[in-house]
Amino acid sequence: MIVTLTLNPSLDRTIEIARLTRGAMTRATGTRLDPGGKGVNVSRALAAHALPTRAVVPLGGPEGSQLTTLLELEGIDVCAVPVSGHTRSNVSLVEPDGTVTKVNEPGGSLRPVDLERIVSATLAAADGADGADWVVASGSLPPGVPDTFYARLGARLAESGIRFAVDTSGPALAAALGCGPALVKPNRDELAESVGFRIDTVGDAVRAAEAMRASGAEAVLASLGGDGAVLVDRHGARYGESPVDHGRSAVGAGDAMLAGYLAGGVTAGDALVEALSWGAAAVRLPGSRMPGPSDVERGAVLVHATADLSRPLSGPHHEHGMEQIR
């Protein structure tokens, strides 16, 4: 059983268009509505592979009820925590070349009493009769949530011997390293922000991941977009890639990658191969749809036992937040 916690869940509407022209009327060529939020996506990917998962989500208003319904339709055991306010909605405009323009609503504020309920619900979900192999906390912190929230949750889980994975960024990620999580999954920009230097080569990514391990993480799965991923753990560093010729949407691909890694550990598969193949499968699908078994192409994954550390990564860092480490 893998329990996920999503503090900032959403309803995600994906609209496919021929081209986005600012200020013009644009007709949709396709649309879909999915349950959203990083932890929610991890549960969706696991459920698509018939792996047991339980999603802990704070929900409010009619949007929260709709999100619960969508999750249950995908076969996910939902642990809904009622909170004041409403569940946010996000919109993604996707062009044929894979360009995605996102408009995300801010998450609703969570009060201290809400956070206590969420922690209690997560611990109860993990300590249930079937027990949890992992608890995964994913996503940004909504307004009112202290940066130390994930670190405190991880410390509580450690008391029960439950492995804790964190996928977040900024101060929340820095604080979470202090609780010794079993896994953190930064992307390239989050990795650079955490260690204070640019990630321009595979070697930079390995060096940064090793620094994060030195700060407390047992393992670091760093997603590098189209360049694949680096896994650094007690066995050393491995680099792999899974090329995608015709990507449709990268929304949720990192969440699918994290789900694949966790699934590999539960099913005794190669966790890095599962991570890369699930992430690539998500890129080939529309919107934030999560891949099922028929979408995954493990044979396309290339894992390099000895990584070429000088290999440059394609494309620049995102500009936001990169000025201070140039």
Amino acid, single-letter form, for residue 122: T
Q: How far, rounded to the nearest angstrom, does the alpha carbon of residue 34 sit from its chain's CA centroid?
A: 15
Q: What would the two tokens of residue 219 be?
A: 């393992």
* H or E, element range at 237: strand 236-241
Cα 180 to Cα 136, 147, 157, 164, 219: the distances in Å are 14, 16, 11, 9, 10
Strand bridging mode 163-167 / 77-82: unpaired
Q: Report the C-alpha gap between 248 and 96 in whole angstroms.
A: 7
Tokens linked to 80 = 């809904």
Among residues 105, 139, 103, 92, which one has the least CA distance to residue 248?
92
Q: Is 255 a catalytic residue?
A: yes
204's tokens? 């930079």
CB 92 within 8 A of CB 100: yes
User: Taking a C-beta distance cutoff of 8 angstroms, is the pair 92, 11 a contact?
Assistant: no
User: Residues 182, 164: contact at Cβ < 8 Å?
Assistant: yes
Angle between helices 112-126 and 149-159 (to 10 degrees): 30
Distance CA 272, CA 258 (A): 10
Start-end of H helices in the chain? 38-48, 61-73, 112-126, 149-159, 170-177, 188-195, 202-214, 253-266, 271-283
Could you say which of 255, 270, 295, 308 is catalytic? 255
Provide the residue count of the chain. 326
Positions annotated as catalytic residues are: 255
